[in-house]
Amino acid sequence: DVKVTQSSRYLVKRTGEKVFLECVQDMDHENMFWYRQDPGLGLRLIYFSYDVKMKEKGDIPEGYSVSREKKERFSLILESASTNQTSMYLCASSLFTSGRGGQYFGPGTRLTVT
């Protein structure tokens, strides 16, 4: 079974802090994705990556950056956390480029910025 793990289930950070959210998958998938999920807004794509050292902006990249130095690891970085970045963050991976065939999600990180 595909396993996608995220570094923390719950995280509390202060405004202005630099925040790293880590995601690791064990199925050798080339494609990885970061979403945020907010009530009433569904899942919104922040960034995705089709290969090592490759990244593409999603729908809401502002205030975020990503790093993909190894195939299995995709990191989401909040350069200077703000209260409007309080959210549930979900990482996913997939075998096929567009998620065709299904995406596999991690358990999520609930981030609170105070």
Partner 1 sequence: SQQGEEDPQALSIQEGENATMNCSYKTSINNLQWYRQNSGRGLVHLILIRSNEREKHSGRLRVTLDTSKKSSSLLITASRAADTASYFCATDANSGNTPLVFGKGTRLSVIA
x/- site string to partner 1, residues 6 to 45, per CB under 8 A? ---------------------------x-x----xxxx-x
> Is residue 99 near partner 1 by the rule CB under 8 A?
yes
Alpha-carbon span 78 to 80, nearest angstrom: 6
Backbone angles phi, psi at 85, to 5 degrees: -100, 5
Which residue in 101, 93, 80 sits closest to 17, CA to CA?
80
**Which residues of this chain interact with partner 1, rule CB under 8 A?**
4, 33, 35, 40-43, 45, 48, 50, 58-59, 88, 90, 92, 97-108, 110
